[in-house]
Structure 1
Amino acid sequence: MSSTKNSDRATGDAEGPAGTVDRAFRTALYADSDTALDTGASLLAADPATDAELARRGEEFVAAAWRRGWQPADVVRIVRRELDDVHVHVAAALIRAQAPNDRPRGHRWTAQLTGLAELAGTDDPTATPPRPDRFTHASAVLELYRLLLRLPALEPLEEPRRTAGPRSGAQGTPGRHDTASRMLTRIRALLAKAEATGFPEEAEALSAKAQELMARHSIDEALLADRDPAHAGDAPGACRIGVEPPYEQAKAVLLDAVAAANHCRAVWNEPFAFSTVVGFEPDLEVVELLYTSLLVQAQSALAKAEAAQRAGGRKRTKTFRQSFLAAYAHRVGSRLREAAATPVSEDLLPVLASREVAVTDRLDRMFPQTTTTRLRSVSDEAGWTEGAQAADRAQVASRRPLE
């Protein structure tokens, strides 16, 4: 008996950390049962020497997700949706650990990596939260790896091609990049104030100014790209924007309307809780800003409407909230379409038409097959009425004529 035990121990030692991790993976990653997960986690928990190898394999799973078209925010979103907070922290730590070994991927990717530090509640991008006991941690890691292993391929999002023009003007004159950054900073500040104020008139004035700057920013960028040979090669890009439950269908409709009004196109992926927005970079940035602002305004208006309904002795339900947000999205969409129809000068028409063709071409290449989704039935009349009224109060000022 003693000889047999010693032989088993010798075999286990010769196997090494990599062999133990392989055994745990064979046991747990390709089966859905809790028993298989517990067995794999027990193997890992019993051998502290596997920690480094387990982390290295996790970075490989992350790199494989990037090759299949996923991005950091996409992975965190799906992990949060399918698993728990502990898995989100593990995923964020793996992504941060893999980043130094990855190639440069553009400013959006960098912003997503920077945002991962917030998950750990620290500004230190290398920090990780305290780990639970070894078995619990190993179980969470294996559950996460199961999910990463099974992620399907997504449409790849290349960064918009940026030409090699000067980034700053001569003799200290601000260049295109500097001017755009200042403009977007002003837009963000105006929208933040509009969301925070409790005075409708002030919010309207602030958001009207933000919308005016958005329109001017987009047109200025289009004209510059058209007239400056250094930027003639600019092409449409794409980004993914989370469309999270609940009431995600109404939110997807709202995002589609915002995108269309700003010379972009959106395609909703319901199973993975995001929409892909295709457009030129300046327009993508303002779509993200305006959609986020409108969501904040919608949630604030919904909370006030529910409070008023409760004060009147009427119980508000999920159908009220669904109807409210559906009406809000529908009405805001109508207002945005009216704004998008504002006449422009004749010299702008060919520029905008050319960019629209480029965006449509990029969309068709990314999504050769799409389907149209109709809003689910809306059954609460009070919710629809309140939502439509809130949309009329939402700060979406029509664009002034562009000369």
Structure 2
Amino acid sequence: MDTLRELSAGRGTIDGVTSTASTVERAFGAALYDDTDTGLDTGASLLAADAAADAELARRGEDFIATAWRRGWQPADVVRLVRRELDEAHACLAAALIRAQAGRDRARGRRWAAQLEALPQGAARGADRFTHATTVLELYRLLLRLPALEPLEDEPGRAPAPAASRMLTRIRALLAKAEATGYPEEAEALSAKAQELMARHSVDEALLAARAPAPDAPGACRIGIEPPYEHAKAVLLDAVAGANHCRAVWNEALGFSTVVGFEADLEAVELLHTSLLVQATHAMTRAEAAQRAGGRKRTKTFRQSFLAAYAHRVGDRLATAAGTQATEDLLPVLATRAIAVTGRLERMFPQTTTTRLRGVTDAAGWAEGAAAADRAQVENRHRLP
């Protein structure tokens, strides 16, 4: 009993293993491999009673994070899943572990660094030691069970990602204005202009790559598809990706799509998809208000149908805007890049399936969504000189 008391207080050793490690091991044995609340409470009680085990507990968390990287996860992926499965306290704790682990991690590139900068801030500790220990163990349970993902690391020979250009800065400014304006026609016109600039930027990048002695290879990124109405949002991302010479594969279970393409095009997809989602939400809110004024209640099928129609029509509009930039002499370059993108996608995802969009049954929602996407005029685009 004396030995046990010493161990629980954080003192002494057993066969060379420190007491703090023993506390953490016993807590893990009770909580991480047992899905019951009883096991979680037992593990949290052990940790709460041994303050000397805190450093070892944090070190183990950093090890879980490093293991997630080896399984193909990235910082934004982990935080997104934690928020999806747990809550903000767990997300703040995960962010703290990621930042701590980054201090002893290798350099991983610009996109990874941007994800580190975007990590949530805030206190990760709970109101008391037991609450905090419970949060830690719940997070570690999730991290322990992360499946392996397709790696997004640069392929051999791929050129490093360039810094953001002045063109992308202009595009961001246009999309910010589109999101901020209260006038639907202006928002859609600004988005159409942004897509035109994106298409021109993509063409410029393609021409530079074609003239370079060692053109870069396509890369990949993950974009979250958040509930509700994930199917319609995934269709919208697929339309944006296709219009920008990329391909998207949706992982419904984990709540993200992997987009494959050349770096400039990936930037365009991330920017435009986010902006269009914001604008679609604003347009849908206005359409619902009009429906309610007419005596109709909001329905899930209205929103699902609205977003499905919006994604469908926006896809057509973006494809038209992108097509105005593809001159005859550029088509072979774009075809070569399309083959490279398809090759990378098939190596990452040798088996994919198609899914049908469900819940599109509301005629009013479809009509309103199509009208919202049709407000912008995309004809009369100027070709590149």
Q: Deviations over 1:281-314 (max 9, x none)?
A: 0000001111111111100000000111111111
> What residue is the counterpart of 1:41 in the other structure?
44
Shift of 1:92: 0.7
User: Do structure 1's residue 79 and structure 2's residue 82 form an aligned pair?
Assistant: yes
User: Do structure 1's residue 245 and structure 2's residue 230 form an aligned pair?
Assistant: no
> What residue is the counterpart of 1:362 in the other structure?
344
SS at match of 2:107: coil
> What residue is the counterpart of 1:214 in the other structure?
198
> What residue is the counterpart of 2:16 in the other structure?
none
> What residue is the counterpart of 2:5 in the other structure?
9
Gaps of 5+ in 2: 14-18
> What residue is the counterpart of 2:148 in the other structure?
153
User: Do structure 1's residue 32 and structure 2's residue 35 form an aligned pair?
Assistant: yes
Query: 1:215 touches 1:399 (CA, 8 Å); kept in 2?
Result: no
Separation in structure 1 between the aligned mates of residue 377 and residue 85 of structure 2, nearest angstrom: 35
Shift of 1:177: 5.2
Q: What amino acid is aligned across from residue 227 of structure 1 in structure 2?
A: R
TM-score norm. by structure 2 comes to 0.93
Shift of 1:384: 1.1
Gaps of 5+ in 1: 122-127, 165-175
**Correspondence for 2:298 among 281, 302, 316:** 316
Greater shift, 363-372 or 306-315, is seen at: 306-315
Q: Cα gap change, 1:268/1:402 in structure 2, threshold over 3 Å: closer, same or farther?
A: same
Alignment of 1:3-402 (within 5 A): 5-10=1-6, 12=8, 13-15=11-13, 16-116=19-119, 119-120=120-121, 128-159=123-154, 163=159, 181-229=165-213, 232-342=214-324, 344-393=326-375, 400-402=382-384
SS at match of 1:316: coil
Shift of 1:208: 3.3
SS at match of 2:137: helix
TM-score norm. by structure 1 comes to 0.89
Q: Deviations over 1:63-116 (max 9, x none)?
A: 000000000010001100111111111111101111111111111110110001
Greater shift, 155-164 or 241-250, is seen at: 155-164
Shift of 1:7: 4.2
Q: Cα gap change, 1:321/1:304 in structure 2, threshold over 3 Å: closer, same or farther?
A: same
Greater shift, 10-19 or 149-158, is seen at: 10-19
RMSD: 2.0
> What residue is the counterpart of 1:124 in the other structure?
none
Shift of 1:330: 1.6
Query: 2:218 touches 2:341 (CA, 8 Å); kept in 1?
Result: yes
SS at match of 1:368: coil
Q: Cα gap change, 1:322/1:163 in structure 2, threshold over 3 Å: closer, same or farther?
A: closer
Query: 1:106 touches 1:159 (CA, 8 Å); kept in 2?
Result: no
SS at match of 2:106: coil
SS at match of 1:348: helix
Query: 2:244 touches 2:265 (CA, 8 Å); kept in 1?
Result: yes
Separation in structure 2 between the aligned mates of residue 41 and residue 399 of structure 1, nearest angstrom: 62
Separation in structure 2 between the aligned mates of residue 9 and residue 90 of structure 1, nearest angstrom: 30
SS at match of 2:221: strand
Shift of 1:26: 0.8
Separation in structure 2 between the aligned mates of residue 205 and residue 149 of structure 1, nearest angstrom: 47
Greater shift, 155-164 or 359-368, is seen at: 155-164
> What residue is the counterpart of 1:167 in the other structure?
none
Q: Cα gap change, 1:49/1:374 in structure 2, threshold over 3 Å: closer, same or farther?
A: same
Q: Cα gap change, 1:220/1:294 in structure 2, threshold over 3 Å: closer, same or farther?
A: same
Query: 1:207 touches 1:395 (CA, 8 Å); kept in 2?
Result: no
Q: What amino acid is aligned across from residue 189 of structure 1 in structure 2?
A: A
Separation in structure 2 between the aligned mates of residue 397 and residue 71 of structure 1, nearest angstrom: 40
Q: What amino acid is aligned across from residue 8 of structure 1 in structure 2?
A: L
SS at match of 1:347: helix
Query: 1:336 touches 1:398 (CA, 8 Å); kept in 2?
Result: no
